[in-house]
């Protein structure tokens, strides 16, 4: 089954960065992606949906683990939209290499991995095993722009 068909079956509508530009550039001078050889480098993606931050705040205080997971899942959807924008066709995705995830959280919150699983689980569900499973690191941080509770960047092997 094609990736776009799987997304449709999952009820996922990707934002179109070709018509509504990549939102990351509102935070400074950057490009949404860069391709070197067979590797796609994605700039940071966040839990923005329809121009609004999903579950702003810090996990462990104003944001629950489940809300953080949902924010990370939305970030994964945006990341896939970034792949489509960069490649034109999601069938060019050969596999996720790695993601670096950031969770805005309280200093004593130690379950950051439970939040970033929202993104990782979605990518695995969409692209399957082994293509949708890559390396991952998650770092708890004090804050992210616009009170976002999650952000990630990724490297993707492409054809």
What pLDDT does 21 receive?
Answer: 75
Task: Give per-residue pLDDT as tens, 24-61.
Answer: 777 888 899 999 999 999 999 999 999 899 999 999 99
Domains of the chain: 3-158 (3.30.1330.40)
| Residues whose CB falls within 8 Å of the CB of residue 5, separated by 6 or more in sequence, listed in order | none
Distance CA 39, CA 93 (A): 10
Q: Is the pTM of this model over 0.85?
A: yes
pLDDT per position as a tens digit, 102-121: 999 999 999 999 999 999 99
pLDDT in tens, 69-80: 999 999 999 999
How far apart (Å, rounded) are the C-alpha atoms in residues 141 and 49?
A: 22
In angstroms, rounded to a whole number, what is the distance separating the alpha carbons of residues 104 and 142? Answer: 5
Structure confidence at residue 37 (pLDDT): 98
**Contact between 102 and 59 (Cβ < 8 Å):** no
């Amino acid at each position: 089954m094609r990736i776009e068909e799987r997304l449709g079956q999952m009820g996922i509508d990707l934002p179109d960065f070709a018509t509504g530009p990549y939102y990351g550039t509102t935070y400074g001078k950057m490009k949404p992606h860069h391709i070197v050889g067979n590797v796609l480098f994605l700039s940071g993606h966040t839990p923005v949906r329809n121009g609004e931050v999903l579950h702003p705040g810090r996990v462990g205080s104003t944001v629950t683990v489940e809300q953080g997971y949902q924010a990370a899942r939305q970030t994964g959807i945006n990341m896939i939209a970034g792949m489509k924008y960069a490649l034109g066709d999601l069938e060019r995705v050969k596999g996720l290499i790695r993601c670096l995830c950031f969770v805005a959280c309280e200093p004593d919150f130690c379950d950051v991995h439970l939040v970033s699983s929202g993104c990782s689980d979605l990518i695995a569900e969409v692209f399957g095993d082994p293509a949708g499973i890559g390396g991952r690191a998650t770092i708890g941080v004090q804050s992210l722009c616009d009170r976002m509770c999650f952000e990630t960047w990724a490297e993707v092997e492409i054809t």
